[in-house]
Amino acid sequence: MSVLRGKKIILGVSGGIAAYKTANLVRLFIKAGAHVQVIMTPASLDFVTPLTLATLSKNPVFSEFYDEENGSKWNNHVDLGLWGDIMVIAPATANTLSKMANGTCDNLLLATYLSAKCPVYFAPAMDLDMYKHPSTLQTFATLTQYGNTIIPAESGELASGLSGEGRMAEPENIVAFLEADISKNLPLKGKKILITAGPTYEAIDPVRFIGNHSSGKMGYDLANEAAGLGAEVILVSGPTSLKLNNDSIKLINVVTAKEMYDACIIQYEHMDVVIAAAAVADYRPKTTADQKIKKSENVFSIELEKTNDILATLGELKKNQFLIGFALETENEIENAKLKIQKKNLDLIVLNSLQDAGAGFGGLTNKVTFIDNNFNIEPKELKLKEEVASDILNKIINHYHA
């Protein structure tokens, strides 16, 4: 899956013949899973229609400070600049690039550029002599000094009929350039992370099982977030209806605690990090009936036996892995969590308490406390599980980049 998925991209279109390529560029951004907001200079309207780019981007296209057709609505360049995760100016003409370098602000695109807080990329598009002119080369150098990134022009036939350097990079190459540039700076690039998620089901008979109320959402949010940060992620998941939104994640579906144990042991040696977010059954029926058990007795007993303790085993086998466990407690939370850190050789534990409203199984939120292996305690406020996942992964990033 593309690292552009979920990114908010401001696409600035200036007035060059290469503007016709922006229709395909927008299509590729959308296909990669990005959100696109197009801003056009007035001159670019002669080369490609706003309707085309609005239809492809699924957003209105802006080119003026005021939208006279919509009651003179103010198109706020500050809000637009703050909205984007990435700004791409393509085509970037010599005129627009010169204005960017010198702080000239005579249209909405330039005002948005000057307001943007995100990384800015520009794809030059101009004729050969213009591209080689000392003033243009100085503009490139100035913009690079500002922290902007040039997407190099390609060689080929130009609008003038000449052939040479200055042709805007093809849309496919612009997307590839962005993906490569973003990927190399991701904080978990090169790290292998194993995550467990969801419940396990321990069969009583062919139709009944022992389980719990875990939805798996915490583990799935962790997997999606870790993959987005560049990690190579393996998710071992118990039964859940959840779907992943990142195709790069390797999903291993399991049902029982034994299956989850086996999958984790097989993968563990090659992992840098393990996050055990699954709610694994502590006990399973000692025997499983081959046929459905009929309702006949008033009292029915099931003999249970312990399942393999996945986290304790991983702690025993640990070499250099960063091992994170979860604890769901109802009493003596801190003391029990500290004991779990020691007994299972953990680096960090994520403590949930069922005493806290909004925490625990089944919901969209969680309230956790981090405790590390030095017993430093860091309580967190109630947050969405996606935000909790981000906090956990920041702990991993800090471990490797401290």
Catalytically active residues are 212
Whole-angstrom distance, CA of residue 66 vs CA of residue 70: 9
Question: In the 8-state DSSP scheme, what is residue 289?
Answer: -
Query: Bridge partners of 87?
Result: 10, 120
Helix (H, G, I), strand (E, B) or coil at 124: strand
Question: Could you tell me the CA-to-CA distances from 318 to 118, 195, 213, 242, 277 in Å, in that order?
Answer: 40, 15, 30, 30, 17
Helix (H, G, I), strand (E, B) or coil at 167: strand
- Cα–chain-centroid distance for residue 189? 13
Note whether 327 and 282 are within 8 A (CB): no
Structure tokens at 205: 């008979």
Helix (H, G, I), strand (E, B) or coil at 198: coil
H or E stretch at 172: helix 171-184
133 phi-psi bin (left φ>0, alpha ψ -120 to 50, beta other): beta
The residues, ordered by sequence, that sit 6+ positions from 377 with a Cβ below 8 Å of its Cβ are 334, 369, 370, 371
Whole-angstrom distance, CA of residue 307 vs CA of residue 285: 10
Whole-angstrom distance, CA of residue 255 vs CA of residue 203: 9
Structure tokens at 52: 């085309």
CA proximity to 53, closest of 68, 73, 74, 38 = 38
Q: How many residues are given for the chain?
A: 402
Whole-angstrom distance, CA of residue 309 vs CA of residue 313: 6
- Strand 273-276: give its sheet, edge to edge: 250-253, 232-237, 192-197, 273-276, 322-329, 348-353, 368-372, 377-379
Q: 347: number of CA atoms within 13 Å, CB side?
A: 19
